[in-house]
């Protein structure tokens, strides 16, 4: 049996070419198979590799996360380089391969809702590590890359590398390591006047034992972090050279177009291939359990031939389901409004609804695969290469060791390319299996993508609140359906009697994770209701909230900052209003103020959104800002326009014409400020999504007196009755 | 049928069905993958290229409509020289996130600036209807404004003191 030793958590050794290579596998987040093979791993060349220093002074950092727009490789490399005191000009990044060595237990713990304080996290248990290995997670999601891999991995790896390099130089010079200083990849011993860059000493450093507890930098001495560093991935994204899964090319590549059962759960009943078979470029019509694919020498030809087919699908008994029937079931499940304690001077009740939403990543789902002799090679774009590899192996009925997966830049993720939603990889390998040994690229059309998503769940929430004679809230109760969890439904306010109960009303529409997950619906529900309580109390919505945040200083500070940025309370022209909302998710508190104008005819203009964000600390300032800006625009598009509806069990919408997005002209000014706190690092990809919808609808109420209780906003006429 | 078109300065003759969209012709026949598929119905603009200098959505442009014409893609925008001012502004403002829509976005903006110099805010709003799911619009607007300012400064400098290189305003002032 393999042995689990502390020594193996941090492993180092030389690599060919005389480089220096250091890997760190902490208990918590980056377990490595090599951690389990004992001390002889290095001798056998089995190494966990995160940081490599080559004689030319280049520092290469392997990133076990994917780039889907959030700037993660740059941020993680900054965290390692900061601890190393490496010269940023010499730092390169490379995406880690889909191997168990790069699995991350951090996400497992987060998924279990078991957030561990930062001070304890490094000592996390073996069980989490095993769980990560078992599930094969190598996830980029849950806003965990920087706060998990970065905080507990990249920093430790960088600090260990620095310590080893200094030790090697000090031995050469016969001086005390503690007398050496490091800056910009140069080690200096001032007293003897000696100095070297990292490269020449890297080989000797690699021969040293690895410090198990390297000293981390005092954040006050950061020189790289908290600055704005240009993202390393951007130059390739402005000249057409960035490669996404859809850009994979190889000799003999065929292309496939898909039709899938329009009702989730349905199967292919029959298809007559003849109409497609004679068409230009067509190679084969492939039957799949729940669909049919046409493979041709060009995607256009495949798609054209597919259109000539009339496949028949079953509906798995869901043909009578509609959005109306789903919400009717929700309404029944919720039952009567939650009861309230007696003695209230005033009560408030309200129902809120949020629709199904598609991710609609700009790059649709794409998988290229070559299956031959019981082996598969896959080229795709996923938020978890390891789990995608397992899913493909299972679909093909082969051992996971027989599958290699090369990941690519993602043309958007937002949760669509996460574990358990790898249907596009599974279908892709099945199509390739049917065409073996030819490589096949299966491209989903936008219609496939919109109609076969794992949707943000439709949800409904029923609230009741009680106020005393002074307008102080005594109780806030709710029941909800469509999914929820403790983080999503909880509120920071000091209200003695609060609860939220889940009711179940299952349906056949498949749900998945959508940027900010359950917070996206519940942020709207709970921050709308607090606003309604404030108005019922005759109070200003900002001061009402602030009075309830006495025991939550970080929330109070963020709320005040956002109000201050927006000039809360200042005069506005008739028909304009401001709305405020605050939510915590993924360890980050975000307060937002929306400023809107509603014309007499109900036309809405969102003029400005202000965000005050407390994510503990910042790694790359400009990237952090762009994540907030983008999150706000993403959330605004959904709040204003987006809705997936179901008729006869099928998704009605199919493309950007009936599932529209906001454009440049609709985009408000966005102002972002960060509050620095001593809290552990929080996420940034997601936490600025949830407060947007309620800030917007609260602003609409302030502007025109219409309370929007159902998203998207376009469903409610904004004309005062 | 045989289609002859010039792409980024190189002339190609392809035996291809006339209804194949230029998008797929570029991506699959010519391996120019910088131009992206996003919707196939001209609704998102990820596939924007220039046809005889005009920004068009190539996913609905049949090959026959490009016969005898010149196509410029993102790969050809800089024409082996320095980056186009729009590309430069995109880097300076750190616009892209996932980056998938940005080829089309840059081609649309470059097309607009070439066709309508200088566009007003309402021209920009009306003409730039490309979709970006990451929500980079705030930076796109800033980058366009920066490009326009740079162009205006260059034009002013050129008109007032053509013999002085741009970026030396103080010298220009002193020379008067």
DSSP string, B106-151: HHHHHHHHHHSSSPPHHHHHHH-----SS--HHHHHHHHHHHHHHH
Which residues are within 8 A (CB) of B147 and not within 5 positions of it... i.e. 6 or more apart?
A: B85, B86, B88, B89, B109, B113
- How does residue B159 score in pLDDT terms, banded at 50, 70 and 90? low
Tokens standing for residue A486: 């403790």
pLDDT of residue A17: 38
* Residue numbers in B near A230 (CB within 8 A): 91, 94
Give the DSSP H or E segment for A170.
helix A155-173
What are the boundaries of each domain within chain A?
7-222, 245-316+365-443, 459-469+476-715
pLDDT of residue A255: 98
Instruction: Output phi, psi for A163, to 5 deg.
Output: -65, -40
What are the boundaries of each domain within chain B?
2-159
Compute the mean pLDDT over every residue in chain B, rounded to the nearest whole number. 90
Alpha-carbon span A565 to A595, nearest angstrom: 11
Which residues are within 8 A (CB) of A336 and not within 5 positions of it... i.e. 6 or more apart?
A: none
pLDDT above 60 for A120: no
Kindly report, residue by residue over A172-224, the tens digit of the pLDDT: 999 999 999 999 999 999 999 999 999 898 878 877 776 766 788 999 999 99
How long, in residues, is chain B? 176
User: Which of B32, B133, B146, B147 would you mutate first to test chain A, the one with the most A CBs within 10 A?
Assistant: B133
Are both A7-222 and A245-316+365-443 of the same fold?
A: yes
| CA dihedral sign, ordered B131, B134, B136, B137 | positive
CA angle at B103 for the pair B84 and A381, rounded to the nearest 5°: 140
- The CA radius of gyration of chain B, in Å to the nearest whole number, is 18
Strand partners, A23: A11
Compute the mean pLDDT over every residue in chain A, rounded to the nearest whole number. 86
Alpha-carbon span A112 to A98, nearest angstrom: 23
- Max avg pLDDT among A128-142, A414-428, A676-690: A414-428
Q: Are strands A650-651 and B10-15 parallel, antiparallel or unpaired?
A: unpaired
DSSP, collapsed to helix, strand or coil, labels residue A84 as helix
Closest B-chain CA to A231: B94
pLDDT of residue A212: 60
Is some CB atom of chain A closer than 8 A to the CB atom of B138?
A: yes
* Least confident among A25-29, A83-87, A380-384, B130-134: A25-29
CA within 13 Å, CB half, A338: 25
Helices (H) and strands (E) in chain A, counts: 19, 27
Question: Which of A579, A720, A681 has its CA nearest to residue A639?
Answer: A579
Nearest Cβ partner of B135 from A240, A629, A669? A629
pLDDT above 80 for A112: no
A621 burial type by CB count under 10 A (0-12 exposed, 13-18 middle, 19+ buried): middle
- How does residue B174 score in pLDDT terms, banded at 50, 70 and 90? very low
- How does residue A116 score in pLDDT terms, banded at 50, 70 and 90? very low
CA within 13 Å, CB half, A489: 21
* Residue numbers in B near A364 (CB within 8 A): 37-38
Across the interface, whether the CB atoms of B75 and A443 are under 8 A apart is answered: no
Give me the architecture of the A459-469+476-715 domain, per CATH: 2-Layer Sandwich (3.30)
Question: Which of A427, A453, A471 has its CA nearest to residue A355?
Answer: A453
Residue range B67-89: average pLDDT?
95
What is the 3-class SS of A626-663, one letter each residue?
A: HHHHHHHHHHHHHHHHCCECEECCEECCCCCCCCCCCC
Q: Are strands A576-585 and A588-598 parallel, antiparallel or unpaired?
A: antiparallel
Which residues are within 8 A (CB) of A183 and not within 5 positions of it... i.e. 6 or more apart?
A: A85, A223
Give me the architecture of the A7-222 domain, per CATH: 2-Layer Sandwich (3.30)
Across the interface, whether the CB atoms of A657 and B41 are under 8 A apart is answered: yes
- What are the CA-CA distances from residue B12 to residues A243, A510, B8 (Å)? 24, 46, 10
Kindly report, residue by residue over A576-600, the tens digit of the pLDDT: 999 999 999 988 999 999 999 999 9
Question: Which DSSP letter does residue A705 get?
Answer: S
Alpha-carbon span B76 to B79, nearest angstrom: 5
* Residue numbers in A near B64 (CB within 8 A): none
Tokens standing for residue A561: 């900052």
Name the minimum distance, in Å, from the CA of A21 to any CA of chain B.
Answer: 30
* Residue numbers in B near A657 (CB within 8 A): 41, 43
Alpha-carbon span A297 to A299, nearest angstrom: 7
pLDDT above 90 for B169: no
Give the DSSP H or E segment for A424.
helix A423-434
Domain A245-316+365-443 has CATH 3.30.365.10: yes
pLDDT of residue A140: 59
Alpha-carbon span A161 to A151, nearest angstrom: 15
Nearest Cβ partner of B135 from A410, A630, A656? A630
* Residue numbers in A near B46 (CB within 8 A): 362
* Residue numbers in A near B20 (CB within 8 A): 298, 300-301
Q: Are strands A473-481 and B54-57 parallel, antiparallel or unpaired?
A: unpaired
pLDDT above 60 for A341: yes
Alpha-carbon span B115 to B93, nearest angstrom: 23
Share of chain A above pLDDT 90, in %: 71
pLDDT above 60 for B32: yes
Strand partners, A457: none
- How does residue A32 score in pLDDT terms, banded at 50, 70 and 90? very low
pLDDT of residue A96: 65
Across the interface, whether the CB atoms of A362 and B87 are under 8 A apart is answered: no
pLDDT of residue A440: 98
pLDDT of residue A555: 98
User: Which of A298, A300, A660 would you mutate first to test chain B, the one with the most B CBs within 10 A?
Assistant: A300
pLDDT above 80 for B122: yes
- The CA radius of gyration of chain A, in Å to the nearest whole number, is 27
DSSP, collapsed to helix, strand or coil, labels residue A77 as helix
Domain B2-159 has CATH 3.40.50.1820: no
- How does residue A147 score in pLDDT terms, banded at 50, 70 and 90? low
- The position carrying tokens 């002799």 is A373
Alpha-carbon span A621 to A702, nearest angstrom: 33
Q: Are strands B70-72 and B48-51 parallel, antiparallel or unpaired?
A: antiparallel
Which residues are within 8 A (CB) of A274 and not within 5 positions of it... i.e. 6 or more apart?
A: none
- How does residue A2 score in pLDDT terms, banded at 50, 70 and 90? very low
Across the interface, whether the CB atoms of B133 and A361 are under 8 A apart is answered: yes
**Cβ contact A62:A49 at 8 Å:** yes
Share of chain A above pLDDT 70, in %: 85
Kindly report, residue by residue over B59-70, the tens digit of the pLDDT: 999 999 999 999
pLDDT of residue A565: 98
Which residues are within 8 A (CB) of A119 and not within 5 positions of it... i.e. 6 or more apart?
A: none
Q: Are strands A59-63 and A91-95 parallel, antiparallel or unpaired?
A: parallel
Question: Which of A255, A279, A285 has its CA nearest to residue A428?
Answer: A255
Give the DSSP H or E segment for A584.
strand A576-585
Question: Which of A218, A169, A153 has its CA nearest to residue A23?
Answer: A153
Across the interface, whether the CB atoms of B133 and A233 are under 8 A apart is answered: no
pLDDT above 60 for B133: yes
Q: Are strands A403-407 and A576-585 parallel, antiparallel or unpaired?
A: unpaired
């Amino acid at each position: 049996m393999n042995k689990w030793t502390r020594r193996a958590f941090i492993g180092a050794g030389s690599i060919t070419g005389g480089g220096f290579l250091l890997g760190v596998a902490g208990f918590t987040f980056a377990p490595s198979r090599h951690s389990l093979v004992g001390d002889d791993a290095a001798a056998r060349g089995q190494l966990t590799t995160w940081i490599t220093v080559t004689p030319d002074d280049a520092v290469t950092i392997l990133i076990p996360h994917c780039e889907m727009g959030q700037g993660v490789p740059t941020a993680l490399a900054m965290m390692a380089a900061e601890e190393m005191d490496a010269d940023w000009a010499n730092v390169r990044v490379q995406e880690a391969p889909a191997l168990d060595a790069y699995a991350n237990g951090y996400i497992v713990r987060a998924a279990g809702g078991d957030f561990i304080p930062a001070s304890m996290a490094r000592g996390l248990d073996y069980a989490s590590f095993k769980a990560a290995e078992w599930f094969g997670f190598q996830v980029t999601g849950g806003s965990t890359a920087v706060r998990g891999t970065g905080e507990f991995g990249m920093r430790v790896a960088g600090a260990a590398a620095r310590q080893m390099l200094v030790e090697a130089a000090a031995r050469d010079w016969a001086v005390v390591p503690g007398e050496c200083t490091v800056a910009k990849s140069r080690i200096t011993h001032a007293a003897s006047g000696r100095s070297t860059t990292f490269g020449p000493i890297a080989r000797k450093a690699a021969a040293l034992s690895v410090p198990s507890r390297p000293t981390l930098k005092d954040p006050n001495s950061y020189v790289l972090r908290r600055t704005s560093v240009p993202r390393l991935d951007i130059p390739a994204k402005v000249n057409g050279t960035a490669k996404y899964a859809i850009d994979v090319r190889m000799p003999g590549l065929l292309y496939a177009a898909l039709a899938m059962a329009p009702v989730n759960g349905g199967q292919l009943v029959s298809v007559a291939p003849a109409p497609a078979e004679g068409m230009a470029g067509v190679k084969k019509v492939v039957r799949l359990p729940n669909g049919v694919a046409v493979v041709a020498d060009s995607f256009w030809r495949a798609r054209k031939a597919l259109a000539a087919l009339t496949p028949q699908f079953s509906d798995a008994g869901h043909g009578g389901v509609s959005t109306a029937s789903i919400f009717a079931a929700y309404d029944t499940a919720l039952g009567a409004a939650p009861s309230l304690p007696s003695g209230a001077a005033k009560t408030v009740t309200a129902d809120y609804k949020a629709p199904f939403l598609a991710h609609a990543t700009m790059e649709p789902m794409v998988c290229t695969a070559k299956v031959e002799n019981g082996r598969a090679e896959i080229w795709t774009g996923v938020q978890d290469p390891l789990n995608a590899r397992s899913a493909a192996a299972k679909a093909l009925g082969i051992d996971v060791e027989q599958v290699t997966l090369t990941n690519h830049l993602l043309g958007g993720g937002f949760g669509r390319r996460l574990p358990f939603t790898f249907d596009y990889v599974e279908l892709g390998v099945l199509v390739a299996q049917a065409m073996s040994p030819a490589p096949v690229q299966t491209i989903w059309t936008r219609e496939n993508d919109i109609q076969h998503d794992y949707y943000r769940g439709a949800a409904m929430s029923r609230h009741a609140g009680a106020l005393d004679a002074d307008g102080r809230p005594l109780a806030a109760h709710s029941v909800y359906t469509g999914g929820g969890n403790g983080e999503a439904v909880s509120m920071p306010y000091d209200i003695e009697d609060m609860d939220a109960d889940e009711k179940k009303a299952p349906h056949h529409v498949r749900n998945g994770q959508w940027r900010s997950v359950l917070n996206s619906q519940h942020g709207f529900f709970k921050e709308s209701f607090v606003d309604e309580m404030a108005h019922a109390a005759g109070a200003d919505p900002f001061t009402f909230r602030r009075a309830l945040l006495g025991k939550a200083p970080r929330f109070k500070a963020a709320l005040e900052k956002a109000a201050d940025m927006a000039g809360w309370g200042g005069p506005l022209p008739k028909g304009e209003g401001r709305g405020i909302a605050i939510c915590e998710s993924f360890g980050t508190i975000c307060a937002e103020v929306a400023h809107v104008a509603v014309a007499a005819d109900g036309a809405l203009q969102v003029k400005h959104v202000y965000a005050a964000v407390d994510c503990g600390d910042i790694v790359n300032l400009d990237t952090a800002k762009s994540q907030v800006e983008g999150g706000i625009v993403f959330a605004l598009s959904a709040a204003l326009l987006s809705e997936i509806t179901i008729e006869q069990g099928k998704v009605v919408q199919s493309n950007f014409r009936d599932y529209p997005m906001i454009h440049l002209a609709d985009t408000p000014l966005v102002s972002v400020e960060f509050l620095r706190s001593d809290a552990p690092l929080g996420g940034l990809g997601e936490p600025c999504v949830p407060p947007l919808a309620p800030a917007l609808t609260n602003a609409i109420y302030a502007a025109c007196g219409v309370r929007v209780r159902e998203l998207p906003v376009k469903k409610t006429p904004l004309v005062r009755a | 049928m045989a289609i002859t078109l010039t792409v980024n300065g190189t002339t190609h003759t392809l035996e291809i069905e006339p209804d194949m969209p230029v998008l797929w012709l570029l991506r699959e026949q010519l391996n120019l993958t910088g131009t992206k598929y996003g919707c196939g119905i001209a609704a998102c603009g990820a596939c924007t290229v220039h046809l005889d200098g005009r920004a068009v959505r190539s996913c609905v442009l049949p090959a026959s409509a490009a016969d005898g014409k010149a196509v410029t893609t993102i790969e050809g925008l800089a024409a082996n020289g320095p980056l186009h001012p729009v590309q430069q502004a995109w880097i300076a403002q750190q616009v892209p996130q996932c980056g998938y829509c940005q080829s089309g976005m840059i081609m649309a903006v470059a097309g607009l600036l070439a066709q309508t110099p200088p566009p007003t805010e309402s021209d920009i709003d009306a003409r730039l209807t490309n979709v970006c799911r990451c929500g980079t619009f705030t930076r796109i607007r800033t980058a366009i404004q920066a490009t326009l300012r740079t162009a205006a400064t260059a034009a002013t400098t050129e008109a007032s003191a053509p013999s002085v290189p741009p970026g030396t305003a103080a010298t220009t002032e002193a020379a008067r």
